[in-house]
Amino acid sequence: MNLPATIFRQYDIRGLVDKELTPAAARAVGQAYTTLAWERLGKAPRVAVGRDNRPSGARLAQGVCEGITAAGGAALDVGELPTPALYFATKTLPVDGGIQVTGSHNPPEFNGFKMVLAHDAVFGDDIQDLYKLINDGKLAAKPGGSTTSHRGLLTAYSGAIVQRNAPLARRFKVVVDCGNGVTSLVAVETLRELGAEVVALFAESDGTFPHHHPDPEHVILAEAALERLGIAHLAGRPVSHMSSGEAKRTLIARALVHKPQTLLFDEPSNALDIGAQLQLRETMRELAQSGLGILLVTHHVSEIIPEIERVILLREGRILADGPKSSVLTAEHLSNLFGVTVRLVRQDGFLHLC
């Protein structure tokens, strides 16, 4: 079977339904994945198969299951669910990997596949290996395959989120726009179980996305933001494959897509190495110089960029000092704040404690 090379991307397989992706193509992907799994595991793989709520999802997922079965694997159909729930399945169910049928943020005429094997994402060269297996006709064909279903996963997924995070430190009121996506099946009730007051928008699951699609302008803005921050090469890379510094800059780029007036940085240098810390400081400076407001919450005076003009010192919820940086960031005020005698050194516009 010959499939277009363009749908085999760096981090997923994605294309137009019926033109590039058909049930036969899905079967080939499932069979190729299982062939790869046999090589890696040395045994018949057990594979969780999930899907989002696009109209094409059920038949593509069925094709994937048929391909897994044809190659002698065991497919476990976990139904309609968000991609993170499929990843949850690979950690909590007796499976060796998972395939999610999803078009991600694209309009409903698109669909695709995200894959995990032995707790690692299938991406890059592995995806190209799947393409070669399909186009070279080297797909495993083995007896003993099977397909079963498991319909309790969303309940377990929601329960795990609540168990890990409840109770919330305080009650929040949140507005949740599910965009009629598959998240509609779990997001609102999970947040309410956590104790949040939820205002739900477009929370009826409808894979035609009748109210709004992803804004094409956002793609252009996202590409521009990534380029601006010097991380255009990270486009499409899963966060799990980024360093902490890359992940933080990617989150900044994501925020810039929405054209904010102010950005909040909360202890931004936590978990960053020295190089990433310096890079982040320069990013904050460039943003501030471009006219964006910067609201910084930090315990480290060395994070306070020269462009920040007003500083508030807080201790146990009480304001100790509030005013221009030059009058607030003094050795006396900081010694009182931290309860120890400190000395300040100024270098290149930044302050350092010693």
Active site residues: 104
Q: What is the 3-state secondary structure (H, E, C) of the chain?
A: CCCCHHHECCCCEEEEECCCECHHHHHHHHHHHHHHHHHHHCCCCEEEEEECCCCCHHHHHHHHHHHHHHCCCEEEEEEECCHHHHHHHHHHCCCCEEEEECCCCCCCCEEEEEEEECCEECCCHHHHHHHHHHHCCCCCCCCCCEEEECCCHHHHHHHHHHHHHCCCCCCCEEEEECCCCHHHHCHHHHHHHHCCEEEEECCCCCCCCCCCCCCHHHHHHHHHHHHHCCCHHHCCCCHHHCCHHHHHHHHHHHHHCCCCCEEEEECCCCCCCHHHHHHHHHHHHHHHHCCCEEEEECCCHHHCCCCCCEEEEEECCEEEEEEEHHHHCCHHHHHHHHCCCCCEEEECCEEEEC
The phi, psi pair for 115, rounded to 5°, reads -135, 145
Would you state the torsion angle of the CA atoms of residues 137, 141, 146, 151, taken in this order, to the nearest 10 degrees?
A: -20
Burial of 29 (0-12, 13-18, 19+ CB in 10 A): buried
d(CA 56, CA 53): 8
